[in-house]
Structure formats: structure tokens, C-alpha cells
Amino acid sequence: MATECIIPAYSVLTDDQIRKINSACVPVKHRKGELLFGQDRPVSHLLYVKSGLIKIHRESTNNKTVIVKIVGPDRYLGLLSIFYDLKYQISATVIEESELVYINIQALKDLISENGQYGLKILEQSSKEGVYLLNKLSVFHQKQVPGRMAELLLSFSTEVYNNNEFTLPLSRQELADYVYSTKESVSRTLTEFKNDRMIDIEDRKVILKSIDLLKILSKLG
């Protein structure tokens, strides 16, 4: 029987390598609101999300919080940092009860050195994270608030909950931090979406009613 790996093995690890990396991993459950790591602090582990939702955020030069993205299951946290200068470039906070796997960095690097195919898979994940950040900076920033909100709602539907009905995991202020706007503008935009029958919303409970219109609005910005 094949040994089960705690983190993704990508079908390229041997049983012995799986046993080694499993021994270097520790699953930990976290409650909502817990800070997993902070910007500019030394990197201690690479984290893998088994379940739950994590808010990735960063403090700008004017001390304003910018939410970079929301990370769900089967994603790594801190992947870019462990190959940079061993300081976290971002902060991560739990927004729904989550289970994470803490991975010893040296053990991971040893595994990558030993198994080039696994290294390529990790590089692929790191590249996806970098491309996401580039797209958000270059495309997301150019959109108006309604376009950004439409894109965010669609991403919650397709990438986080896989459902057109969901409960927003962020407060109005956090939504504003995500779309580079104000809480008042976000609330006004959501009300307009409701009046235009694109969504139904009650507090944080949302139903996406017109996916096509939201997609058009997201694309046009």
C-alpha cells in the first residue's frame, strides 16, 4: 500500500520521500482571527492549507492595509518568501476556522534537491502565485470599484465556495481593503448590484443572480 502524503506529492515522490516529508510536517488547527505570520518577520515554516480560509494582506507605506488575496484549501502560504530572503513579504490571518500543515523549510529544500520533478511542481506553484500578483497589480488596479467588486464576488463563487450562494468571509472594511476603496463605496456598490438584480444580499449572505452581467462588468471594469 502506498504511503499517504500529508502535503501534495504530485505523484512524483517515492514512499521513502513521503515518509521523510511527513515526519517534517505538523498539522495545526487555527481559530478565526489568528495571525499565522506577519510581514517582515523571519520565515519559520512553509504552510499548506488543508481546510478553511486565510486572508493574505500587506501594510503599505502609509500604514494602510491592503488585502492581496483570499486563500482556500490546497494552497501554500509563504511560498515566495522561502526562496527570497527568509522574511515574510506578507501577513496571513485566519478568517474561517482552518487546518494548516507546517512544513520544515530545510526538509522541503532537501526534498527539492533530491527530486527535481518535485522541485518543478513547487516552482509551478510559486510561479502561479507570482503571476496572480502581477495580474492584480496590472489589471485589477485599472478597474473601477464596480468592476473590482464584480470580479471579487465571482472569485468567491468559483474559486472559494464553488457555489453562487455564499456568506462573505470579509467585513465591508475588509472588502474595501481588497478592492482599494472605502467602506462607504463598497456598501454603495453592493446596493447598486442588488437594485440592478445582479445579486441578492442580506448582511453578508450573497446570492449571485446574474453571472453573465457580473462577468461583463468584471471584464469591462
C-beta atoms surrounding 213 within 10 Å: 16
Per-residue pLDDT tens digits for 141-174: 778 999 999 999 999 999 888 999 999 999 999 9
pTM for the model stands at: 0.87
Q: Does residue 121 have a pLDDT over 60?
A: yes
pLDDT above 90 coverage of the chain, percent:
72
- Closest by alpha carbon to 112, among 13, 211, 35? 13
Per-residue pLDDT tens digits for 45-70: 999 999 999 999 988 777 788 898 89
168 HSE (CA, 13 A, CB side): 25
Average pLDDT over residues 24-29: 97
Question: Looking at residue 2, what is its pLDDT?
Answer: 67
Q: Which residues pair with 28 in a beta bridge?
A: 100
